[in-house]
């Protein structure tokens, strides 16, 4: 599988698990059900059961084990059928219809990478000899 689909699977899984225990869960479940409707065989049943399993997640808590499970599941589905990418993308960009100002933002960095992210605002970033961090150092 290519790296882009792997990242998409991770983003979709994180959005799904992050929605557990929040007002976004019903929308996340609807999106995942729509995706699973396109899957055939026993894998569909297995994932449907896992999706309907009562969650122990609480608001603001994300279970890393659940993220790993759903990342692997989505990666396998995308590997078998890359056409599911649009549905996984909808899941990854989950937004509540009742409260469109609430979104789940997923940022990741690997190999000593850095992430600079902002929602609903402006981000100011400076580096170099005149940046604030370098002036504060002794």
pLDDT, tens digit, for every residue of 2-19? 889 999 999 999 889 888
Kindly indicate the confidence band of residue 21, based on its pLDDT and cuts at 50, 70 and 90.
confident
pLDDT tens profile 50-70: 998 866 555 556 678 888 999
* Cβ pair 1, 79 in contact under 8 A: yes
Q: How far apart are CA 15 and CA 9, in angstroms?
A: 10
End-to-end CA distance of the chain: 48
**Residue that wins the pLDDT comparison between 49 and 113:** 49
Q: Which helix (H) or strand (E) holds 33?
A: helix 25-36
Mean pLDDT computed over 75-86 = 94
CB 25 within 8 A of CB 19: yes
Burial 111-127 (b: 16+ CB within 10 A, else e): eeeeeeeeeeeeeeeee
Percent of the chain with pLDDT over 90: 38
Confidence of residue 34 (pLDDT cuts 50, 70, 90): very high
């Amino acid at each position: 599988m290519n790296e882009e689909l792997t990242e998409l699977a991770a983003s979709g899984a994180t959005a799904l698990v992050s929605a557990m225990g929040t007002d976004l869960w019903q929308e996340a479940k609807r999106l995942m059900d729509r995706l699973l409707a396109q899957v055939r065989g026993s894998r569909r049943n297995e994932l449907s059961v896992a999706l309907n399993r009562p969650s122990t997640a609480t608001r603001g808590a994300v279970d890393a084990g659940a993220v790993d499970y759903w990342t692997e599941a989505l990666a396998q589905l995308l590997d078998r059928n890359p056409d599911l990418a649009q549905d996984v993308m909808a899941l990854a960009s989950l937004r509540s219809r009742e409260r469109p100002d609430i979104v789940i933002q997923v940022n990741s960095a690997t190999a000593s990478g850095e992430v600079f992210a902002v929602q609903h605002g402006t981000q100011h970033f400076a580096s170099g000899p005149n940046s604030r961090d370098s002036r504060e150092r002794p």
